Chains A and B, each alone.
Chain A
Amino acid sequence: MAEVITVAVVDDDRMLLDGMRSWLGGVADLRLTATAATVGELLGSSAAQDGAYVPADVVLLDLMLRDGSDPGGNIRRLARLGSRVLVISTVPDQARIVESLRAGADGYLTKDNELPALVTAIRDVAAGRGAHSPELAFAFAYDTTPGRPRLSPRERQVLLDYAAGMTLKAAARRAGITPNTAKDYLDRVKAKYLRAGRPAYTKLDLARRVSEDGLDGE
């Protein structure tokens, strides 16, 4: 508990921001450093204060912001500046969740999770372990988009059982493997999606990504 994890929240719901402040205020190893309604506001406000943007360790990012900004672009901007991104949303919109993970988000949670689940996810993401959640597993397991990565039968079984609400330990027993291996499987599925999200690195592709990410003089 020596290390304190800095957290920023980007959400256009004021009530949720207030709630988050009081929630995280009670957790010793987490410190809420900034809240904003959009990613642009988050980057702009801290730059105005300190002259330079200091990225939080973990940014909680609402999947659907009211400014209509593209979740993939938001995630890439934050990740490039050095934050890990945990995506949150009220309704689990499967297509957008998959898109977010492809864009490099470290985890996904629905907002109805209780405080301990949220805190665990933030700690996991900050430690670079990558957070898993049944709602994320569900989005992967029932992804029907054309570019979805191929999963092995074992990976699929663990993913399905975890998505159905089983603990990692129970899912591992059902598959006849250790909980650690089961966790590896889930990590691997996530890694496959991340790879599938950035398939090629031709010059043209990079140029397109740059404009997608809003780097070209926004």
Chain B
Amino acid sequence: MILATMLYRASHLAIGVVGVAQRHRDQPVQYAGVVTAVGLSVLVYGTALRRGWFVRRQVWADVLVCGCLLPFALWAWGGAREPATLGWAMILGGSASAAAAVALDRVRVLAAVALLVATHAVGYQAVGASPAVVVGHLNSLLSSAVMAWVFWWYLRRQGRLLDDANARALSAEAHRARYAERLEHHRALHDTVLATLTTISSGGIDANAPEVRERCAREAAYLRRLVQQTSDELPHREIGTALEEVVRAAEGLRLKVTARYHALPQVPTEVATALAEAAGEALNNVRRHAGTGHAFLTATGGPPDGDDGGAGARVVVTVVDRGPGFDPERYAPGLGLRRSVHDRMAEVGGHAAVDTAPGEGVRVELRWPK
């Protein structure tokens, strides 16, 4: 729309420049008029192009100066006494009204156009133009404004329709993603909780048997984490899913895992994978050495106070047991801890630390970044 009104104005200016150059070579005021019109046009449209839209005050200045004052200035000092010499300045009013129609709100558009019509009627009266010329010119003033406004209204409407369509497509996409996620959960629930409940309710087995109770406890733990994760509503799908996989694998090997997550951030896939693998190895160590059959896995993003300092995503995962522990002075880190935990974390720019003492369990801390 800026471009369209600008071209309209440019065509009017071209007429002005050619007209003045041909007929009024010896009249400085006519030249000054052209320079003023060109200067103001450059200001209005230059600013509009740079900022992406018109500045209202400049459009008003254009209407008042190019549209209203210029013809009178030419009449008063430029020696313009017949309609033909005033013509080039008068048609600038048409492009001024077109710009006003798209840049101003409705009441002000009417005011600007009315002002232009009135001054131009008076201006042509002053030079004694024939009624046909006057009516024709006023008609072009009005139709410039109306056409520009209709064109602009149509463009905006199309734009709105397009935006609406885009928004609908986006929300449909988000809906699909949520649906896929829910389906994933449903499938997991079907394979675990639902299968267990169905078996128990059919009455064929002893619900109090140790293995049935164990399985129920495991499934309950899964549901508990699921509820917590969905209530968190935080973008931690990747790392949450990766950790959840190793937790379930460990539970499958009869290790009770109390897993808690808080404010996990989005991290690169390879970091999520490394953290999960290292955590899985730490859980393996608990299963083999702690003798308690119970591990605590805690994964949190950043410091708990949230005083992040703008450092970006940070993750701390701890795997803790309450087993016999060991004396770190006398113990050479076994293959498991060294290769799978320390080296795996170092590969992605993270860090692992083991804290233990005889009789006090083991605490493995995985940190990213270092």
**Distance A161 CA – B355 CA, assembled complex (angstroms):** 11
- Whether A112 pairs with B227 at a CB distance below 8 angstroms is no
- Whether A142 pairs with B263 at a CB distance below 8 angstroms is yes
**Residue of A whose beta carbon sits closest to that of B363:** A166
Flag whether B163 is at the interface (Cβ < 8 A).
Answer: no
**Residue of B whose beta carbon sits closest to that of A140:** B304
Q: How many residues of B contact A (CB 8 A)?
A: 27
Flag whether B47 is at the interface (Cβ < 8 A).
Answer: no
**Distance A164 CA – B304 CA, assembled complex (angstroms):** 13
B258's contact among A90, A134, A167, by CB below 8 Å, is which? A134
Flag whether A173 is at the interface (Cβ < 8 A).
Answer: yes
Interfacial chain B residues near A205, Cβ < 8 Å: none
A165's contact among B220, B221, B322, by CB below 8 Å, is which? B322
Interfacial chain A residues near B321, Cβ < 8 Å: 165
- Whether B318 pairs with A167 at a CB distance below 8 angstroms is no
The CB with the most chain A CB atoms within 10 A, among B260, B262, B318, B357, is that of: B260
- Whether A167 pairs with B360 at a CB distance below 8 angstroms is yes
- For residue B251, give the distance in angstroms from its CB to the closest CB of chain A: 13
The CB with the most chain A CB atoms within 10 A, among B220, B221, B320, is that of: B320
**Residue of A whose beta carbon sits closest to that of B224:** A91
Tell me whether A90 and B357 are in contact in the complex, defined as CB-CB below 8 angstroms, given that A142-B263, A160-B304, A164-B320 are known contacts.
no
Size bin of chain A's contact surface: 20 to 34
Interfacial chain B residues near A161, Cβ < 8 Å: 363
- For residue A121, give the distance in angstroms from its CB to the closest CB of chain B: 16
Interfacial chain A residues near B263, Cβ < 8 Å: 142
- For residue B57, give the distance in angstroms from its CB to the closest CB of chain A: 44
Spell out A's residues near B (CB within 8 Å).
90-93, 110, 112, 134-135, 138, 141-142, 144, 156, 160-161, 163-167, 169-170, 173-174
Instruction: Supply 20 A–B pairs (Cβ within 8 Å), ascending by A.
Output: A91-B227, A92-B228, A93-B231, A112-B220, A112-B221, A112-B224, A134-B296, A138-B262, A142-B263, A144-B306, A156-B304, A163-B260, A165-B258, A165-B318, A165-B320, A166-B320, A166-B360, A170-B322, A170-B357, A174-B355
Spell out B's residues near A (CB within 8 Å).
217, 220-221, 224, 227-228, 231, 258, 260, 262-263, 295-296, 298, 300, 304, 306, 318, 320-322, 325, 355, 357, 360-361, 363
List the 5 closest pairs (A to B, CB-CB), nearest first: A165-B296, A165-B320, A170-B360, A142-B262, A164-B318
- Known contacts A164-B363, A165-B320; 20 further A-B pairs (Cβ under 8 A): A90-B224, A91-B224, A91-B227, A92-B260, A134-B258, A138-B260, A138-B298, A141-B304, A142-B262, A142-B300, A144-B306, A160-B304, A161-B363, A163-B260, A165-B298, A166-B320, A166-B361, A167-B361, A170-B325, A170-B361
